[in-house]
């Protein structure tokens, strides 16, 4: 990770993970559920703390940190590595109308990336922004929850299933969230 995305221990971060070429992969539940299940695994087994999240069609926003004894950068590296492989494998095996086009885009980026041999799913970095003030924290919290509203997917944030906005209005969301 470069200095732009340097992650220090003991902080909460606003993170953005984006699919290469902004490919709209997360329009089907099968791909969305890979992300949800991977986040749940990282919470249970890798020390991930999630305060807010939203999965849009081509990117994931998180307000997150690592529990003591864990490193957020390691969690994110493993999350992206696993989900990249799993999603590309699933696209290859599912009846998917966009299969050839998506695999071509991921293969193209993998070909030009020195660390990848075949496919590259996520853009480099996590656009990690360290949270230092309550104002910045709540700005990012609202930004995350309002994302599906701005994209005209739902009218109210809590209507979107793939978001922590539900947790913030007393409903149970898909991922365990530490409500701020």
Positive or negative torsion for Cα 100, 117, 119, 33: positive
pLDDT of residue 94: 87
Positive or negative torsion for Cα 135, 42, 38, 117: positive
CA distance 169 to 152: 20
pLDDT of residue 6: 74
pLDDT of residue 117: 64
121 phi, psi to nearest 5 deg: -100, -50
Q: What fold, for 3-169? A: Alpha-Beta Plaits (3.30.70)
Q: What is the mean pLDDT of each run of 10 residues along the chain (180 residues)?
A: 63 96 96 98 98 98 96 96 96 91 87 71 91 95 98 97 97 95
Indicate the helix (H) or strand (E) that contains 63: strand 59-66
Which ranges constitute the DSSP H helices of the chain? 29-46, 72-93, 99-111, 134-150
What radius of gyration, in Å, describes the C-alpha atoms of the chain?
Answer: 16
CA distance 147 to 154: 10
pLDDT of residue 2: 42
What's the pLDDT tens digit per position in 65-90?
999 999 999 999 999 999 999 999 99
Q: Is the pTM of this model over 0.85?
A: yes
């Amino acid at each position: 990770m470069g200095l732009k995305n340097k992650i220090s221990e003991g902080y909460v971060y606003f993170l953005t993970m984006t699919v290469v070429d902004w490919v709209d992969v997360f329009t089907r539940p099968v791909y969305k559920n890979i992300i949800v299940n991977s986040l749940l695994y990282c919470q249970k087994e890798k020390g991930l703390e999630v305060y807010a999240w939203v999965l849009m069609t081509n990117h994931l926003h998180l307000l997150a940190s690592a529990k003591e004894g864990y490193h957020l950068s390691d969690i994110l590296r493993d999350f992206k590595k696993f989900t990249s492989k799993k999603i590309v494998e699933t696209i290859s095996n599912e009846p998917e109308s966009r299969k050839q086009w998506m695999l071509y885009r991921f293969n193209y980026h993998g070909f030009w990336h020195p660390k990848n041999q075949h496919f590259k799913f996520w853009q480099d970095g996590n656009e990690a922004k360290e949270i230092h003030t309550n104002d910045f924290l709540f700005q990012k919290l609202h930004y995350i929850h309002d994302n599906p509203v701005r994209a005209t997917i739902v009218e109210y944030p809590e209507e979107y299933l793939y978001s922590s906005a539900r947790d913030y209005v007393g409903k149970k969301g898909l991922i365990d969230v530490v409500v701020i």
